[in-house]
């Protein structure tokens, strides 16, 4: 057998002799690999995004919401008539061992005014544990404390978006804004969180003590009640226990008889988000699977062209055999032609795929992440495609009878 | 010792149920330095004989000693090595690689011998000079005349210093003037370099360049004589 370097040289020469055909053959692999790389980039980007949002929402999260009520024959949606109270939230923390933290919330939209600027946003009345549960950080200033909650103090925390829109470059800490005409002191600005899974800007918010919300801002709507209670289970393994304990506790507190419809619901938010993350992952694998079909088709294209090429070059093979080429010499020559085509196609495909995912990320605004793993996979896979689909034509070439091959017209 | 020693060579082809005896027992010996023509009508078995002499095929029965070693039972890769080291081929259709320069065509046997590139280039250029094609190293076959292409093929047959050249109808595709040129060149090689030449032809004019004519018919040698002596050999 002759040196591998010589075989590569021979293969490269004959690929160069048929530039157009070589390029078209490799095109199948280029498109296949580019599709796989781009789809992986989009898929990875999407699931990283969902994971980041999951983390920003908080972990092991449950939401207790007021149930639907019937009023004059009309069934209202969840939370239409608040049935939960601040006391329910305190009882949940005190009496459910599987619960880590809980915070009641009462929210609605408000107009916030500072000087000549005004901004419409969502005001959320709550208690300090909410910041921990939802992974909020304090960007500047401070949070409000429990005594401010007890006294329904007129203090507020601004989301980054609200702070930017009302204050621009000015420092909001200590300034007085008017929330639904009620003057409130800005004690802190929240750290930036970005958009959530639904594409909403989480920083477009205003946080005030729950009591302030109930008594001063949304007085007529809540009448001492809260719209939902945010609960963080003690850890990931106690989520189900927390759900059961809250259910039992609230049924007792609200005196729900067993045959009656409950006036509250406990939702496992973590589960919902994980389902979303899982479906993103499934989708991205599906995309990659579809893309790899085109890689397979590209491989079959290589085999097809190599088979044609072997037939067309039968006489060449005969000549090479007559002057002393052995079976492995011919086999490796044709095999390396196929592998060179698929690897060159693979490298071009990786570059093209990277460019496509960059463009998609840039123009469609989808997050795309090109992982080194996907590049390594695409490269390895295209080399394998070359070996797999090149082997059959190459072994056909190597098995030719030199006499027949020389006589071939 | 003879360069080629055939004894009791038989070749039978099996086509399904029918078997065809192409060679039915050929024994002959060719000394180093001879210039032999093999003649015979089509279907006589001369092509089969050439394939066996050229180590492209093996006999069904009998023994073929080439340069003293038995090559009649070798496998295809061992035969490839024998062809590479001991036999140069010149074909009717030239059989050069298309879209490949004369130099690279001549390099081919040395490539499979495993010689380094620099030596191959040097020796291929020398061989081309020897056949009168110096300066045409980078011409491709389609840029050369038939006679020139056959010279490239002869250079390729010479380049590995094989002791034997098998020429299968080497002038079949050439006009008569060029045919004479090629035959004179082969004769010259035989005389000056002592290369053994076995020529297959059905043209008596061409066979006349040789010093011994072996007639094959129905798979057997029917005559074996030296025309310049006019005598018959057993």
- Judged by DSSP in three states, B60 sits in coil
Q: Is the pLDDT of residue A58 over 80?
A: no
Q: Is the pLDDT of residue A257 over 90?
A: no
Interface of chain B against chain A, CB under 8 Å? 51, 54, 56-57, 76-77, 80-81, 83-85, 89, 91, 95-100, 108-109, 111-114, 117, 156, 160
> How many Cβ atoms sit within 10 Å of the Cβ of residue A360?
17
Per-residue DSSP letters for A149-178? HHTT-SEEEE-HHHHHHHHTTS--TT-EEE
Rg of chain B on CA atoms, in Å: 18
Identify the residue whose tokens are 């916030």. Answer: A112
Report the alpha-carbon distance of residue A212 to residue A206 in Å, rounded: 12
Q: Is the pLDDT of residue A232 over 70?
A: yes
B116 φ/ψ angles, rounded to the nearest 5 degrees: -65, 155
> What integer pLDDT is reported at residue A133 of this predicted model?
87
> What integer pLDDT is reported at residue A135 of this predicted model?
85
When mean pLDDT is compared across A105-109, A322-326, B160-164, the lowest value belongs to: A105-109
Question: Burial of B226 by CB count in 10 Å (0-12 exposed, 13-18 middle, 19+ buried)?
Answer: middle
* Cβ distance of A319 and B99 shorter than 8 Å: no
Beta strands in A253-347 (DSSP E): 264-268
* Cβ distance of B112 and A406 shorter than 8 Å: no
> How many Cβ atoms sit within 10 Å of the Cβ of residue A194?
12
How far off is chain A from B234, nearest CA to CA, in Å? Answer: 30
Task: Please state the rounded mean pLDDT for residues A153-164.
Answer: 92
* Cβ distance of A324 and B113 shorter than 8 Å: yes
What's chain A's average pLDDT? 86
For A326, which of B57, B80, B108 is closest by C-beta distance? B80
* Cβ distance of A324 and B83 shorter than 8 Å: yes
When mean pLDDT is compared across A75-89, A268-282, A284-298, B17-31, the lowest value belongs to: A75-89
Q: Which two tokens stand for residue B151?
A: 């010279």
Nearest to A194 by CA among A208, A179, A204: A204
pTM (predicted TM-score): 0.73
Task: Please state the rounded mean pLDDT for residues A19-24.
Answer: 90
When mean pLDDT is compared across A22-36, A343-357, A364-378, the lowest value belongs to: A364-378
> What integer pLDDT is reported at residue B234 of this predicted model?
38
Q: Is A123 on the interface with B (CB under 8 A)?
A: no
Q: Is the pLDDT of residue A199 over 80?
A: no
In B, minimum Cα distance to A317 occurs at B97
Identify the residue whose tokens are 């709550």. Answer: A126
Q: pLDDT class for A195, splitting at 50, 70, 90? A: confident
Per-residue DSSP letters for B162-207? -SEEEEESTTTTS-HHHHHHHHHHHHHHHHHH--EEEEE-S-HHHH
DSSP H or E run through A229: strand A228-233
Nearest to A334 by CA among A378, A403, A400, A408: A400
pLDDT for A302-317, tens place per residue? 899 999 999 999 999 9
Q: pLDDT class for A377, splitting at 50, 70, 90? A: confident
What's chain B's average pLDDT? 92
Nearest to A187 by CA among A169, A201, A173, A170: A173
For B97, which of A316, A321, A406 is closest by C-beta distance? A316
Q: Is the pLDDT of residue A271 over 60?
A: yes
* Cβ distance of B112 and A323 shorter than 8 Å: yes
Low-confidence residues in chain B, pLDDT < 50: 230-234
Nearest to B80 by CA among B93, B71, B70: B71
Q: pLDDT class for A70, splitting at 50, 70, 90? A: low
Q: Which two tokens stand for residue B198?
A: 């076995």
Q: Is A322 on the interface with B (CB under 8 A)?
A: yes
Report the alpha-carbon distance of residue A290 to residue A277 in Å, rounded: 20
Q: Are B42 and A292 in contact (CB under 8 A)?
A: no
How far off is chain B from A323, nearest CA to CA, in Å? Answer: 5
Q: Is the pLDDT of residue A225 over 90?
A: no
Tell me which range, A82-91, A100-109, A281-290, A392-401, is most confidently predicted by mean pLDDT: A392-401
Beta strands in chain B (DSSP E): 4-15, 18-30, 35-39, 61-66, 69-70, 87-91, 164-168, 196-200, 212-217, 220-226, 231-232
> How many Cβ atoms sit within 10 Å of the Cβ of residue A16?
10
Q: Is the pLDDT of residue A388 over 50?
A: yes
Q: Is A399 on the interface with B (CB under 8 A)?
A: no
Instruction: Indicate if the alpha-carbon torsion angle B192, B193, B195, B197 is positive or negative.
Output: negative
Q: Are A103 and A300 in contact (CB under 8 A)?
A: no
How far off is chain B from A21, nearest CA to CA, in Å? Answer: 15
Share of chain B above pLDDT 90, in %: 88
Nearest to A202 by CA among A54, A59, A366, A64: A54
* Cβ distance of B76 and A327 shorter than 8 Å: yes
Identify the residue whose tokens are 């010792």. Answer: B1
> What integer pLDDT is reported at residue B49 of this predicted model?
95
Q: Are B155 and B148 in contact (CB under 8 A)?
A: no
Task: Please state the rounded mean pLDDT for residues A338-366.
Answer: 90
User: What residues in A contact B117, CB-CB < 8 Å?
Assistant: 6
CA distance to A63, A224, B108, per residue, from A17 (Å): 69, 85, 17
Q: Is A407 on the interface with B (CB under 8 A)?
A: no
Residue A65 CB partners (closer than 8 Å, separation 6+): A78, A79, A84, A227, A228, A264, A265, A267
Count of CB pairs separated by less than 8 Å, A with B: 62
For B83, which of A3, A316, A323 is closest by C-beta distance? A323
* Cβ distance of B111 and A2 shorter than 8 Å: yes
Share of chain A above pLDDT 90, in %: 34
Q: Are A105 and A229 in contact (CB under 8 A)?
A: yes
CA B12 from chain centre, in angstroms, equals: 22
Report the alpha-carbon distance of residue B228 to residue B209 in Å, rounded: 10
DSSP H or E run through A227: none
- Judged by DSSP in three states, A128 sits in coil
Nearest to A384 by CA among A17, B45, A376, B112: A376
B131 φ/ψ angles, rounded to the nearest 5 degrees: -90, 10
For B56, which of A13, A325, A402 is closest by C-beta distance? A402
């Amino acid at each position: 057998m002759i040196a591998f370097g010589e075989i590569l040289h021979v293969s490269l020469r004959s690929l160069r002799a048929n530039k157009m055909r070589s390029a078209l053959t490799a095109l199948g692999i280029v498109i296949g690999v580019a599709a796989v790389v781009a789809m992986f980039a989009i898929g990875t980007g999407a699931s990283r995004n969902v994971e980041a949002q999951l983390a920003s929402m908080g972990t092991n999260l449950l939401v207790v919401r007021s149930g639907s009520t019937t009023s004059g024959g009309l069934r209202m949606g969840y939370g239409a008539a608040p049935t939960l109270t601040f006391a329910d939230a305190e009882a949940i923390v005190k009496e459910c061992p599987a619960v880590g933290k809980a915070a009641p919330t009462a929210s609605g939209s408000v107009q916030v005014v500072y000087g000549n600027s005004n901004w419409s946003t969502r005001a959320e009345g709550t208690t300090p544990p909410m910041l921990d549960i939802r992974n909020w950080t304090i960007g500047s200033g401070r949070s409000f404390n429990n005594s401010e909650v007890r006294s329904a103090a007129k203090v507020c925390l601004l989301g980054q978006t609200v702070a930017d829109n009302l204050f621009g470059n000015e420092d909001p800490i200590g300034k007085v804004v008017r929330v639904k005409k009620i003057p409130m002191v800005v004690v802190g600005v929240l750290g930036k969180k970005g958009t959530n899974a639904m594409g909403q800007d989480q920083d477009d918010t205003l946080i005030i003590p729950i009591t302030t919300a109930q008594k001063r801002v949304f007085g007529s709507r809540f009448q001492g009640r809260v719209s939902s209670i945010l609960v963080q289970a003690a850890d990931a393994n106690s989520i189900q226990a927390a759900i059961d304990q809250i259910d039992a506790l609230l049924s007792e507190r609200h005196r729900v008889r067993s045959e009656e419809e409950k006036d509250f619901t406990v939702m496992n938010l973590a589960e919902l988000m994980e389902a979303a993350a899982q479906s993103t992952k499934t989708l991205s694998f599906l995309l990659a699977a579809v893309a790899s079909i085109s890689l397979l088709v590209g491989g079959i294209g290589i085999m097809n062209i190599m088979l044609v090429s072997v037939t067309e070059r039968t006489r060449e093979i005969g000549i090479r055999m007559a002057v002393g080429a052995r079976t492995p010499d011919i086999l490796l020559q044709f095999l390396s032609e196929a592998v060179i085509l698929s690897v060159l196609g693979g490298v071009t495909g990786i570059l093209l795929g990277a460019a496509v995912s960059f463009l998609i990320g840039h123009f469609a605004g989808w997050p795309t992440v090109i992982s080194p793993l996907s590049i390594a996979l695409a490269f390895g896979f295209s080399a394998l495609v070359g070996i797999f689909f090149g082997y059959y034509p190459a072994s056909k070439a190597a098995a030719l009878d030199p006499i027949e091959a020389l006589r071939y017209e | 010792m003879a360069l080629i020693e055939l004894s009791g060579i038989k070749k039978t082809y099996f086509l399904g149920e029918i078997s065809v005896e192409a060679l039915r027992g050929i024994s002959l010996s060719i000394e180093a330095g001879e210039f032999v023509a093999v003649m015979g009508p089509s279907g006589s078995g001369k092509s089969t004989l050439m394939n066996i002499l050229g180590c492209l095929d093996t006999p069904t029965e009998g023994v073929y000693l080439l340069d003293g070693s038995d090559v009649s039972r070798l496998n295809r890769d061992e035969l490839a090595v024998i062809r590479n080291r001991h036999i140069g081929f010149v074909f009717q259709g030239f059989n050069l690689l298309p879209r490949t320069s004369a130099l690279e065509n001549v390099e081919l046997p040395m490539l499979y011998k495993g010689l380094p590139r620099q030596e191959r280039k040097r020796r291929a250029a020398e061989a081309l000079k020897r056949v009168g094609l110096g300066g045409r190293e980078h011409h491709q076959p389609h840029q050369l005349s038939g006679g020139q292409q056959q010279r490239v093929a002869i250079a390729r047959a010479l380049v590995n210093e094989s002791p034997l050249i098998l020429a299968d109808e080497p002038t079949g595709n050439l006009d008569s003037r060029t045919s004479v040129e090629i035959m004179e060149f082969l004769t010259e090689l035989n005389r000056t370099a002592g290369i053994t030449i076995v020529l297959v032809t059905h043209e008596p004019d061409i066979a006349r360049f040789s010093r011994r004519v072996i007639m094959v018919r129905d798979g057997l040698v029917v005559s074996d004589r030296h025309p310049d002596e006019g005598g018959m050999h057993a």
